[in-house]
Each structure stands twice: as C-alpha cells, then as structure tokens.
C-alpha cells in the first residue's frame, strides 16, 4: 500500500486558512514526506481565486503554480514521486503543456506522475477563456489527452478536432519515462471510462469502500470496451485526513476547518447530491489511528492500491507536520 500527501500549494482560502504555507514551507513538506516514507506529494492546480474565497476573505490567497512548484521540489528530493492532483487540462494549451511535462520528467529523473481532470470550478475556465463559454470541458479534456499522447510518441504530430488543433509539431525531448503514469481524477462515470480508455490509474475522492468497489467493477466493464489499454489499473482514491484521540474530536475539528467550507462550495459540482455530514465524513479518514487503520484496511480489501494525495485538514502548517508524523508513525506501519 502506498500513501501520499496533498501539497497545500494552491488551496489557501479553500481547504486552509489564509495565510497557510509559503514556498519555503512547501519545500519542507516535500522533504519531510520523503523522510517519513510517503510515496509522493501531489500539487493541485488553481490559477485564480474562486468567487466564494473572495467573498470570505479580505486577504487574497497565494496560489503557487503546480508544475513550477514540482520542479523546485525535485531539487530537494531524490526518491519522492511528484504528482499533479489534479492538473486541470481544459485551462492548459496542449503543445506547451507537453513540453513542460517532458522537461519536468527529465529534471526529476522520471519521478513525475500526471493526475488530470476537469477542475472543480468552471468559473476559473470562463475567467481565463471568456470567449469559450460554450466549450464542453469534457470533450476538451479528452482531445488534450489524445494530443499529449501523440506529441509524446510521434516524431512529428498533427491533430485537428473540435477544440484542439496543431500541425507538424516536433517536440523533443520526449518524457524520460517510457510512459508518464496517467491518473484520471473524478468520481463521475466518465472519469472511470476515460481511465479505462487512456489511463493507468483511477483517482476518485472520498469514496466509501462499497462505492469504491462499485467503481472498480465499472472500470473492469469499461476495460473490456477498450482492450488496447487493458491493464492492472492503480486504484488511487484521495481522502481528507485528521487523526485524534477519538472520532468525535476528529470530526469536530473537521467541521470547524476551512476544508469543510471548501466541501460546501463544491455541493453543486464535485459533491453534487452528497450529504456532507454523512457521506463525506464517513467517506474520509477521520478518527483514531486504529479507526483509520481499519478504514484503510476496508478500502484495501475493496481494491485500493494507493491512498493518494491525502489532504490533511489543519489550521496551521505546524499542525500539518504533526499529523504527518502521527500518520507515518501510527498508521503506515500497519501496512508495511
């Protein structure tokens, strides 16, 4: 079982207070993650402040761009994998992105993992591309995935679909890894199908063991439809985490965290139709070390292979460091 940490590089005002972690502390998190034996750190991808954050805070948040952040962290680590969770493909131009990813994969000696998705806030997309208000982001994401695959594998690539167009692109170097591991983020059925068609791993968020097992079954069914990509997929769900001396205290801490407000903000998108008090709390890692061990054991039995991009819900960076030590010392040894 692998365990990884979510970097708070672009979540101030959403999942953390403002301020929370500066660029130097992001380096400290990566170095500590490697020291404690975590598999990876994952940077999230927000370029602009969300409307609800502007309305909540008088101080603007600092969002550190994820690819540059990971490039810097690669110089301070040697074994830690560096991932994006998630890179919002609809806001990224494919040719430039392919160049950035291949370059980063060389500078970190093949330690890059690419987690991708639509992004939780369409408002960011529309603010960056106001002229593309009618664009279907799912179609744009799929075209970008196909475009990246072409650029990474062909000497000279051309592509022309509904939204993405380029001609005669020769882009070297290719990624250092023979194939960049591609994780599709999202709980939606389309994310599962995209995983089966193009991906190496499925990266949902906050699923119970029962729901995770159902998703894995759908992945197996879709895999029959796309035999050219059939493989043993990594099952890498994301979870919020807080350890305490009782589940009651852990849940109480979460309810008073900025992360709770972030989940509320996603009630019409990522968590549409969900009950925060029941579905979200029961679908994440809140409780004593033994309770969290038991929950992870159930998820492992359901098919989880990588407990990825764990978002530690704390009020301060020092509390985050404490939780990382707590988890590494009390929970991870149960799965060695």
The CATH number covering residue 118 comes to: 3.20.20.30
Q: Among residues of the chain, what percentage have pLDDT more than 90? A: 90
**Of 265, 254, 249, nearest to 314 (Cα)?**
254
Cα(271)–Cα(265) distance, integer angstroms: 9
pLDDT digits over 127-142, tens only? 999 999 899 999 999 9
pLDDT band at 270 (very low <50, low <70, confident <90, very high): low
Say if residue 218's pLDDT is above 80: yes
Mean pLDDT score, 170-184: 98
Q: Is residue 249 part of a domain?
A: no
CA torsion angle for 25, 69, 50, 263 (degrees, to 10)?
-70
Cα(58)–Cα(77) distance, integer angstroms: 35
**Of 204, 269, 268, nearest to 233 (Cα)?**
204
Residue 152 DSSP label: H
What average pLDDT does the structure give for the chain? Answer: 95
Which structural domain, as residue segments, surrounds residue 123?
2-238+289-335
Q: Is residue 277 part of a domain?
A: no
At residue 204's C-alpha, the angle toward residues 234 and 290, to 5°, is 85
In contact, 183 and 203? CB cutoff 8 Å: yes
**Of 141, 153, 147, 231, nearest to 194 (Cα)?**
141
Q: Is residue 191 part of a domain?
A: yes
In contact, 153 and 173? CB cutoff 8 Å: no
Q: Is residue 305 part of a domain?
A: yes
pLDDT (0 to 100) of residue 264: 77
Say if residue 305's pLDDT is above 80: yes
Mean pLDDT score, 194-207: 97
Mean pLDDT score, 65-78: 98
Sign of CA dihedral 65, 68, 72, 73: positive
Say if residue 263's pLDDT is above 90: no
Structure tokens at 262: 């972030």
Say if residue 293's pLDDT is above 80: yes
Cα(36)–Cα(44) distance, integer angstroms: 21
pLDDT band at 269 (very low <50, low <70, confident <90, very high): low
**This prediction's pTM:** 0.94
Cα(237)–Cα(220) distance, integer angstroms: 16
**Of 63, 6, 49, nearest to 30 (Cα)?**
6
pLDDT digits over 95-115, tens only? 999 999 999 999 999 999 999
Mean pLDDT score, 220-230: 97
Q: Is residue 15 part of a domain?
A: yes
How many other CB atoms sit within 10 Å of the CB of residue 88?
24
Mean pLDDT score, 209-230: 97
Say if residue 9's pLDDT is above 70: yes
pLDDT band at 6 (very low <50, low <70, confident <90, very high): very high
pLDDT digits over 11-37, tens only? 999 999 999 999 999 999 999 999 999
In contact, 258 and 16? CB cutoff 8 Å: yes
How many other CB atoms sit within 10 Å of the CB of residue 217?
12
In contact, 89 and 144? CB cutoff 8 Å: yes
pLDDT band at 313 (very low <50, low <70, confident <90, very high): confident
Say if residue 274's pLDDT is above 90: no
pLDDT (0 to 100) of residue 89: 98
pLDDT (0 to 100) of residue 334: 98
Say if residue 188's pLDDT is above 80: yes
Q: Is residue 250 part of a domain?
A: no
In contact, 81 and 40? CB cutoff 8 Å: yes
Mean pLDDT score, 113-133: 95
Q: Is residue 270 part of a domain?
A: no
Cis peptide leading into residue 19 (ω within 30°): yes
Structure tokens at 136: 């279907």
Q: Which has the minimum average pLDDT: 198-207, 248-257, 292-301, 319-328? A: 248-257
Look at the chain and report how many structural domains it folds into: 1
Q: Is 309 left (phi over 0), alpha (psi -120 to 50) or beta?
A: left
Mean pLDDT score, 69-73: 98
Q: Which has the minimum average pLDDT: 188-197, 206-215, 266-275, 307-316? A: 266-275
Q: Is residue 163 part of a domain?
A: yes
pLDDT band at 157 (very low <50, low <70, confident <90, very high): very high
């Amino acid at each position: 079982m692998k365990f990884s940490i979510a970097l708070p590089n672009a979540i101030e005002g959403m999942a953390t207070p403002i301020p929370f972690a500066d660029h130097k502390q992001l380096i400290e998190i990566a170095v500590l993650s490697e020291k404690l034996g975590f598999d990876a750190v994952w940077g999230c991808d927000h370029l602009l402040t969300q409307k609800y954050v502007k309305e909540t805070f008088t101080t603007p948040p600092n969002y550190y761009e994820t690819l540059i952040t990971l490039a810097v962290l690669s110089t301070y680590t040697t074994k830690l994998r560096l991932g994006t969770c998630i890179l919002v493909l609809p806001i990224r131009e494919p040719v430039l992105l392919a160049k950035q990813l291949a370059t980063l994969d060389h500078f970190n000696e093949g330690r890059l993992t690419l987690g991708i998705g639509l992004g939780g806030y369409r408002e960011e997309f529309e603010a960056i591309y106001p002229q593309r208000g009618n664009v279907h982001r799912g179609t744009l994401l799929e075209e970008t995935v196909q475009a990246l695959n072409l650029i990474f594998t062909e000497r000279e690539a051309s592509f022309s679909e509904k939204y993405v167009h380029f001609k005669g692109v020769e882009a070297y170097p290719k990624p250092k890894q023979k194939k960049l591991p591609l994780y599709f983020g999202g709980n939606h059925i389309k994310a599962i199908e995209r995983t089966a068609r193009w991906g190496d791993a499925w990266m949902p968020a906050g699923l119970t063991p029962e729901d995770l097992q159902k998703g894995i079954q759908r992945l197996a069914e879709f895999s029959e439809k796309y035999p050219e990509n059939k493989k043993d997929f990594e099952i890498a769900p994301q979870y919020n985490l807080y350890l305490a001396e009782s589940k009651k205290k852990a849940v109480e801490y979460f309810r008073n965290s900025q992360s709770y407000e972030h989940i509320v903000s996603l009630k019409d998108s990522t968590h549409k139709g969900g009950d925060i008090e029941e579905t979200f709390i029961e679908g994440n890692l809140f409780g004593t070390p033994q309770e969290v061990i038991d929950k992870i054991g159930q998820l492992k039995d359901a098919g989880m292979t990588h407990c990825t991009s764990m978002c530690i819900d704390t009020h301060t960076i020092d509390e985050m460091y404490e939780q990382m030590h707590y988890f590494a010392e009390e929970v991870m040894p149960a799965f060695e």
